[in-house]
């Protein structure tokens, strides 16, 4: 097929689910004969960025639209502004429900999203994209479903916990596939004519099927590059950092969602907020938050944020004594306005909160914040990544709280000495390309030590750039032997003099890692251009990064306290598009 047929855009679906039709307004005063009113729901939303006039919206049960076993329970044509409203009867019991969208001008644009289980949706009351962001239909949600289906042979056992588990452990794979969808969809590169998929959902499924996800040698990033071909390798070096920092896409990569509207995953109380904010150098369209690939010459170096007087109220309002932190938390979704006291930059952030294993924080429950957002630079709206810890005063950082890899660790061909954790890092350097490398991390009470593995699987140890594509000879290299707590910020590890080399270009500066995050940041000045840059390294899901969407997590970091891992199978995804 011609690559120009892909035109995905983020489609934000705001859903209002009502216990009875009469409570939703319009549509009559009661349920039809034979229909239980508690199964009725009114769904309202819009397809945006830019508004997709006449978008075909379909709500299905059991599987996404077009997949084997899908049951259509409602459909509607969006108006000229992309808005729509429809009423559906949800199936009885706990049945997975999906939202699907097709661009009427291009049948190749097919995107899907998992909404949750039918009984929970019917009982939850009013839901919207402000408190249930997995209602977005986007390249990320489409990629996540492709990964889940590939691992489990379909959607039979799909639940919110299993979906969250897929994101926790396979988030980096989801990110790579989402980047591929967006690359061809927004015509950011010219794929080769070898692309066999005819829809965006089939493109996602093809990459997931070829990535060996359930093996010790997953090759998702290289599979995406191979599947696209052409000159797309360079774009795939940029898009993952864009997607993870985008306030619409970024939260979709994290944790899943608490279905109960208004449920607080973060208890009221006083907290310390410690984290790292890293400008990416990529622009965002303010009206739609649709990421672009504009890269300015300069960004501010990544900065440690440390606010010791943050309060969360019983209604979820977030504030700080100094006025630098304000926002709101609903379920595990956090919206935040953050003023960096060092640079005086104001960030508007949106992300997820997850409870960290209490062994990591001295037995007291603390919470990881994974978010992306925007700020203004020279009159333009730009993207930034923000990872942080919200910890009660009684908590204390215990970097030795993880003692051994658990069953959810993905070793991915990385061999380490006893007591060390095998990790896989995806490197995305916008100007230099990227790749993936294996490392070993040894936790201790005073920080972490990084070492080279005794062996790695070369199948997923490679580099790539915008011109030549993949090359095992150009795999990135990272030097940062010892990570210790940052001054005054015990939940942030730092390593001065760290360096990373990507396709011959070395960036030297300070490495930062925030407890409970999946992102390593190196902030520094490149030796060849003198340009300030923040290089983001995305850590594949492993025992060091596991957090829970539940309000508490008393287990150690080797297990998931909310039963997240429901995706251990290795079936195939059969799509009927």
Q: Look at residue 133 in the predicted model and tell me its pLDDT.
A: 62
446 three-class SS: coil
Asked whether the beta carbons of 202 and 190 are under 8 A apart, the reply is: no
- Tally Cβ neighbours within 10 Å of residue 92: 12
Domain spans in the chain, listed from the N-terminal domain onward: 3-236, 269-391, 421-539
Which phi and psi (to 5°) does residue 308 adopt? -95, 0
How far apart are alpha carbons 73 and 71 in whole angstroms? 6
pLDDT for the residue numbered 32: 38
Rounded distance between C-alpha atoms, residue 537 and residue 516, angstroms: 14
DSSP assignments along 328-350, one per residue: EEEBTEEEEEEE-TTT--EEEEE
Quote the CA–CA distance of 108 and 576 in Å, as a whole number.
Answer: 13
Quote the DSSP letter at residue 129. T
Residue 226, pLDDT score: 86
Residue 275 phi/psi, 5-degree rounding, is: -170, -170
Fold match, 269-391 / 421-539? yes
Contact 67, 155 (CB under 8 A): yes
Pick the CATH number of 269-391 from 2.60.40, 2.40.10, 3.30.1370, 2.40.128: 2.40.128
| 8 Å CB contact between 417 and 406 | no
How far apart, in whole angstroms, are the C-alpha atoms of residue 101 and residue 13? 10
In what helix (H) or strand (E) does residue 207 lie, and over which residues does it extend? helix 200-210
CATH code for residues 421-539: 2.40.128
pLDDT value, residue 148: 96
Q: Which of 209, 236, 220 is nearest to 173 (CA)?
A: 220
Q: What is the phi/psi pair of residue 466, to 5°?
A: -75, -15
What is the helix, strand, coil percentage profile of the chain, to 5? 20, 40, 45
pLDDT of residue 123: 77
Tell how strand 505-514 and strand 489-502 pair up.
antiparallel
- Residue pLDDT tens, the chain, 577 long: 333 333 333 334 444 333 322 233 323 333 333 344 457 766 666 655 445 678 888 999 999 998 989 999 999 887 886 666 778 888 998 999 998 888 888 777 788 889 888 888 887 655 566 656 666 778 899 999 999 999 999 998 999 889 988 998 899 899 999 999 888 777 788 888 777 778 889 999 999 999 888 776 678 888 888 888 888 887 887 788 888 998 888 888 988 876 654 566 789 999 999 999 999 888 876 334 345 565 555 788 999 999 999 999 998 999 999 999 999 998 888 999 999 999 999 999 999 999 999 999 999 999 999 999 999 988 888 899 999 999 999 999 999 887 655 444 566 778 888 888 888 888 876 666 677 888 889 888 889 999 888 777 665 666 766 555 665 557 788 898 899 999 999 999 999 999 888 877 788 899 999 999 999 999 876 555 556 778 889 988 887 888 887 778 876 444 433 332 222 223 333 333 3
Query: For 58, phi and psi rounded to 5 degrees?
Result: -130, 135
* Of 537, 535, 542, the residue nearest 565 (C-alpha): 542
Residues in contact with 251: Cβ distance below 8 Å, sequence separation at least 6, in sequence order: 133, 333, 350, 351, 352, 370, 371, 372
Whole-model pTM: value is 0.86
Residues 6+ apart with CB under 8 A from 158: 96, 114, 148, 152, 566
Half-sphere exposure for 472 (CA within 13 Å, toward CB): 7
Q: Alpha-carbon distance 383 to 298, whole Å?
A: 13
3-state secondary structure of 79: coil
Sign (positive/negative) of CA torsion 77, 79, 82, 83? Answer: negative
Pairing of strands 303-312, 269-285: antiparallel
Return all residues near 193 (Cβ < 8 A) that are at least 6 apart.
Answer: 3, 229
For 187: left if phi > 0, alpha if psi spans -120 to 50, otherwise beta; the answer is left
| Spatial contact of 490 and 304, defined as CB atoms under 8 Å apart | no
């Amino acid at each position: 097929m011609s690559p120009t047929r892909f035109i995905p855009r983020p489609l934000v679906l705001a859903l209002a689910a009502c216990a009875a039709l009469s409570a939703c307004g319009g549509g009559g005063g009661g349920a039809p004969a034979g229909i239980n009113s508690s199964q009725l729901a009114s769904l309202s939303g819009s397809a945006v960025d830019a508004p997709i006039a006449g978008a075909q919206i379909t709500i299905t049960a059991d599987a996404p639209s077009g997949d084997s076993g899908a049951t259509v329970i409602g459909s509607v044509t969006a108006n000229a502004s992309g808005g729509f409203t429809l009423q559906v009867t949800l199936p009885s019991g706990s049945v997975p429900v999906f939202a699907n969208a097709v661009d009427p001008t291009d049948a190749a644009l097919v995107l899907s999203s998992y909404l949750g289980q039918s009984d929970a949706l019917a009982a939850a009351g009013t839901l919207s994209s402000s408190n249930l962001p997995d209602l977005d239909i986007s390249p990320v949600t489409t990629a996540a479903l492709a990964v889940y289906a590939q691992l489990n042979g379909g959607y039979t056992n799909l639940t919110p916990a299993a979906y969250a588990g897929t994101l926790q452990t396979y988030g980096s794979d989801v990110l790579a596939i989402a980047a591929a969808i967006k690359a061809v969809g927004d015509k950011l590169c010219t794929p080769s004519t070898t692309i066999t998929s005819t829809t965006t959902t089939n493109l996602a499924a093809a990459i997931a099927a070829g990535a060996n996800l359930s093996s010790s040698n997953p090759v998702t990033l290289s599979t995406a590059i191979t599947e696209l071909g052409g000159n797309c390798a360079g774009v795939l070096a940029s898009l993952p950092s864009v997607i993870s920092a985008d306030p619409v896409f970024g939260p979709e990569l994290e944790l899943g969602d608490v279905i109960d509207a208004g449920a607080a995953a973060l208890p009221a109380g006083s907290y310390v907020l410690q984290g790292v904010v890293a400008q990416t150098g990529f622009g965002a369209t303010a009206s739609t938050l649709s990421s672009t690939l504009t890269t300015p010459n300069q960004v501010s170096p990544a900065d440690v944020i440390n606010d010791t007087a943050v309060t969360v109220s019983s209604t979820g309002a977030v504030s700080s004594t100094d006025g630098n932190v304000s926002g709101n938390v609903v379920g595990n979704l956090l919206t935040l306005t953050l003023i960096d006291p060092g640079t005086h930059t104001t960030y508007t952030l949106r992300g997820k909160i997850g409870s960290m294993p209490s062994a990591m924080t001295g037995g007291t429950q603390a919470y990881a914040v994974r978010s992306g957002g925007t700020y203004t630079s020279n009159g333009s709206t730009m993207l930034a990544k923000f990872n942080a810890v919200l910890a009660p005063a009684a908590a204390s950082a215990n970097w030795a709280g993880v003692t051994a890899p658990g069953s959810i660790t993905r070793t991915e061909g990385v061999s380490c000495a006893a007591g060390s954790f095998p990790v896989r890092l995806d490197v995305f350097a916008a100007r230099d390309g990227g790749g993936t490398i294996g490392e070993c991390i040894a936790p201790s009470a005073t920080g972490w030590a990084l070492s080279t593995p005794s062996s790695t699987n070369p199948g997923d140890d490679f580099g790539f750039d915008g011109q030549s594509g993949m090359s095992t000879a150009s795999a990135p290299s990272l030097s940062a032997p010892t990570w210790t707590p940052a001054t005054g910020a015990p939940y942030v590890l730092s390593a001065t003099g760290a360096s990373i080399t990507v396709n011959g270009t070395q960036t030297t500066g300070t490495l930062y890692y925030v407890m409970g995050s999946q992102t390593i940041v190196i902030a520094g000045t490149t030796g060849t251009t003198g340009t300030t840059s923040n290089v983001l390294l995305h850590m594949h899901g492993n025992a060091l990064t596991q957090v829970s969407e539940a309000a508490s997590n008393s287990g150690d970091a080797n297990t998931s306290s909310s039963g997240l891992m429901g995706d251990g199978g290795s079936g195939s995804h059969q799509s009927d598009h």
